[in-house]
Amino acid sequence: MTELFTWPALLALAAGGLYGAVFGSIPGLTATLAVALFIPIAFFLDPILALPAIISISAVAIYAGDVGSVIAKIPGTPASAAYVEELHKIARLRGPSYGLGISAMGSAVGGIIGTALLIFSATSLAAVAKNFSSFEYFWIAVLGLTAGIFASSGSSLKALVSLLIGVMFSTAGIDPTLGYARFDFGNPNLLGGLNYIVAMIGLFGFSEVLQNVFAHGKIDTGSMPPSKGAPTRQFFVRPVLLMLRNKMLVLRSSLIGTFVGFLPGAGADIGAWVASSFEKLSGKRGDDDTEEDDRVVLAGTSSNNAAVASAWIPALSLGLPGDTVTAIVLGVFMMKGITPGPMLFEQQATLVWSLFGAFLIANIVLLPLFGFITARIATFVVRIPFNLLLGVIAGLCVVGAYAINNNPFDVAVMVAMGVFAFLLRIGGFPLAQVVLGMVLGPILEQNFMVSAIKSRWDLMAFFDRPIAIGLMIGTLVVIVIGVRIKARASRANAPSQDA
């Protein structure tokens, strides 16, 4: 691990973190895209430089996706969409430094916990992941969708409708099982399906522009209030005190992120949704009425970076990608002639320990450092009256949608999604559940079809495996708890409505 503390390695880590912070802050430019664009450079670098740089990029870029949520309510990643409303509300009420401080500190601690589990239990956790089949992945998708329904602060029925709309959008393109084109309307651009990042930019970003344009001054678009107290206290001290008051929440959310992250193909997005939805369902409130929002954001952010670290578990131990970033990493391994698997820990021990060290440095040093820098920049940006920012936001939506595939059709999709989201907002339907449906819809459909085909359509096979039964029971528990909490909230609101 001493190779990691040479000047070239430290420079690669710092440059990767800065690149990830800038890239992740721009709507539509995700951590996956940042890593993909880095690959031509990684090809010419030694693995001891390239792989730590990729770790630094992904760790910081996942956090930076929350910057857009604070400034303009545009989540930079699907994981950020899980708590975008709460994070934007925190920034509006108590300043962007505090909101991004919760995000950065939560992400750092979650990443450290995920890294610790990566170091001490990589091979054993990978063995657990090997026992997951299409049946278990189906139930994980069902569990995530169910939690999303009850996580909405409004009507569960409207949340269900939004979720089903998202699942419906996810069916456009080539059938993943049978290979038939569907819902493409004769347009070849739709054969690849609707990109959920493009859809997310339209749903949250462009619809926000439309809502303010058509509100005719009825919406408060003034600048955010300045943060109270020193910036370092707002960004570092207060979020750390929040985590100390909610130690079990951070640990629980990090473990959820780790569990979801090490499942091949799951990734940070599902982990953040499950953790934040679980916290919304718990309904625990602090002394301050707004602390519930703090807890939701803390749960989501600590989960997503824990999943970033644990996604490397199947990649290193089995050669299976835990998410799209580690899928790219496996390509780097192949370019460099490195074979991932159980023997990697013996044959490339120096490289493996350097990767572990890179995770720790990225989460302990780089994430708080670049997080603080982006928070200071965001503090100045949000002082600009929101009406003046609308044109910039609209431009970023167009640029972000186009930059993903360099396709003008994606810009048209983004605009259409923005108009549709504007109508959903008028009807009081939540938008985050649409994104959740688009993310989990393909996982649900593909694993259901694969399971049904290999069991010859014997639906009882979905209840034969112990882990699948456990996930099904977890889904039922979420339904029971969710119904009880919603019923209790309805009874509590009934007297005030009668009055």
Q: The dihedral of CA 480, 482, 484, 487: what is its sign? A: negative
Rounded Cα gap, residues 281 and 141, in angstroms: 18
Cα dist. 175→146, 181, 182, 379 in Å?
24, 6, 7, 45
What's the average model confidence in pLDDT over 454-465?
89
In a domain, 224, yes or no: yes
What is the pLDDT at residue 273? Answer: 80
CA distance 484 to 481: 5
3-state secondary structure of 259: helix
Give whole-number Cα distances, 133 to 167, 285, 323, 342, in Å: 22, 38, 17, 21
Q: State the residue for tokens 């393109």.
A: 173
> Is pLDDT above 70 for 230?
yes
In the structure, what pLDDT confidence band is assigned to residue 92 with cuts at 50, 70 and 90?
confident
Tell me which residue of 296, 297, 308, 314 sits closest to 270, measured CA to CA.
308
In a domain, 348, yes or no: yes
Confidence of residue 370 (pLDDT cuts 50, 70, 90): very high
pTM above 0.75, yes or no: yes
Asked, for residue 370, whether it belongs to a domain, the answer is: yes
Partnered with residue 181 across adjacent β-strands are 174
Q: Is 435 part of a structural domain of the chain? A: yes
- Tell me the percentage of the chain whose pLDDT exceeds 70: 87
Q: Is the pLDDT of residue 487 over 50?
A: yes
How many residues would you count in the chain? Answer: 499
Count of domains forming the chain: 1
Residue 123 pLDDT class (50, 70, 90 cuts):
low
Q: Which residue pairs from 145-148 have beta carbons closer than 8 angstroms and sit at least 24 positions apart in sequence? A: 145/436, 145/437, 145/440, 145/444, 146/475, 146/478, 146/479, 146/482, 147/273, 147/274, 147/277, 147/278, 147/281, 147/478, 147/482, 148/273, 148/277, 148/432, 148/433, 148/436, 148/437, 148/440
Please tell me the distance from the alpha carbon of residue 94 to that of residue 77, in angstroms, as a whole number.
Answer: 23
In a domain, 132, yes or no: yes
- Flag whether 499 is in a domain: no
Identify whether 498 is part of a domain. Answer: no
Domain coverage including residue 142: 2-492
Which spans in 318-431 are helix H?
324-335, 344-347, 349-361, 367-381, 386-405, 408-427
pLDDT in tens, 152-185: 767 888 989 999 999 999 999 888 877 888 988 8
CB 137 within 8 A of CB 263: yes
